[in-house]
Structure 1
Amino acid sequence: MLLATSCLVYEGLLPEIEGCSISGNMLLTRSNYGTDSSATIIDDVSCSNNSTRIWNNPYSGQIRLQGGTYSSYGRLEVYCNGQWGTVCDDTFDATDARVACRQLGYSDYNSYSGNLAGSSSQPIWLDRVYCSSSDSCLAYCESCPSSEYHNCRHSEDVALGCEFDTSRTDSTNTLSTCQY
């Protein structure tokens, strides 16, 4: 399997990125795994493929996609209380999917469901997420609970597919605006 590594670099936040350097103020890309041929836009960014973490220290409210075939598809996970956990699909809809994908740097979603099983050792942090179309981060829709409280099983974990429109070059989200 071919691995091509690139980094999602937000202006002014380069010290938070492991394995990347930049000589300008440009951002926009992600890692592509397997045969994913998604476009990648890079300007004056240099990244190595020996880095295993994009951010050295996850922040409360950071999200990621895990366990999927491609980097743009997987189980939606959120970092809360010092631990990665999952998001339940109860009430999760197209608006929530769009907000999550945009927070990850994609332009939109192309699928969401509850059929990609999670790890039974992970907490289920978010349940009944309600985002509005004006939200730019899941942190604005639902905050991290102080403890795991829900009525979900891991069979209800959100699986999310995101897409990138190469005709769009704007990005309105930054690492700092998505923290709880």
Structure 2
Amino acid sequence: MSHPICIRLVGGSYTGEGRVEVKYHDAWGTVCDDGIIDTNAKSCLSRVGMWHGAIQKQSAPFGQGTGSIVLDDVSCTGTEKSIASCQHNGFTITNCNHSEDVGVVCFSVRLIGESTSNGTVIVKLGNTEGSVCDDNWDNDDASVVCGMLGYNGTTAQTVSNARFGEFSGQMWMDGVNCGDSESALAKCTFNGFGKNDCSHSEDAGVICYCSNLPYRVY
């Protein structure tokens, strides 16, 4: 028998990030980070209106919850409409404690200014878009962006000083420092969402290459 379940995000600084809490039998509880991967986060957030993608954060990054741990060893394919529809141990069956409460960040990227493979990097946190400052911006960072856009196996080039145009509004990221293993820009080291000393004249951009030639979509 399936159980109706509500989902919310708690403890984040912005809409679209926080500790995952689920309501089960009229009480709010948490989800253990055992087995949680990004596809699980995406399935979870389809129920809180964040359709555009998500990454998981382990070890109670948004603080420890209280009450029951409702789900453990969650395994999703990424197509489920709710995290409760994913495979798991069973409601409230867990060997975790609240130091393992999982959090998620609703996060996606797109490019503006020239084409789908060349442009100013725009990140979406929750329902709000913003740009990225070009401080420390390098080709490793650009490669992560291009990978998120689906240009797997490509090389990437950074673009600085708002070459593809300035964004207006929020600047979300500064001091980005990616290695060679991150699958999403939000997993790289940076100053923290909204923490920057930049202007939009420093908006970062990328060019995604395929077979060593610029791959342009018109």
TM-score range, shorter chain: 0.5 to 0.7
Aligned to 1:173: none
CA distance in 1, matches of 2:139, 2:204: 12
Deviations 1:34-87 (A, max 9, x none): xxxxxxxxxxxxxxxxxxxxxx8334221111121x221011011114201000
Instruction: Note if 1:78 corresponds to 2:129.
Output: no
Q: Equivalent residue of 2:181, what SS?
A: coil
CA distance in 2, matches of 1:144, 1:63: 18
CA distance in 2, matches of 1:94, 1:67: 19
Q: TM-score, normalised by structure 1?
A: 0.54
Aligned to 1:118: 166
CA distance in 2, matches of 1:143, 1:110: 19
Which of 1 and 2 has greater Rg? 2
Q: 1:149: how far off?
A: 2.4
Q: Which amino acid aligns with 1:140?
A: K
Say how many residue pairs are matched: 112
Q: TM-score, normalised by structure 2?
A: 0.45
Q: 1:111: how far off?
A: 4.3
Structure 2 stretches of 5 or more lacking a match? Answer: 1-38, 44-49, 54-105, 213-218
Question: Are the equivalent residues in 2 in contact too, given 1:65–1:75 (CA < 8 A)?
Answer: yes
Question: Are the equivalent residues in 1 in contact too, given 2:122–2:130 (CA < 8 A)?
Answer: yes
Runs of 4+ in 1 over 6 A off after TM superposition: none
CA distance in 2, matches of 1:65, 1:73: 7
Aligned to 1:153: 199
Q: 1:145: how far off?
A: 4.3
Aligned to 1:63: 109
Question: Are the equivalent residues in 1 in contact too, given 2:124–2:130 (CA < 8 A)?
Answer: yes
**Structure richer in strand, relative to its length:** 2
Identity %, equivalent residues: 33
Q: Which has the higher contact order (CA 8 A, sep 6+)?
A: 1
Structure 1 stretches of 5 or more lacking a match? Answer: 1-11, 17-55, 167-180
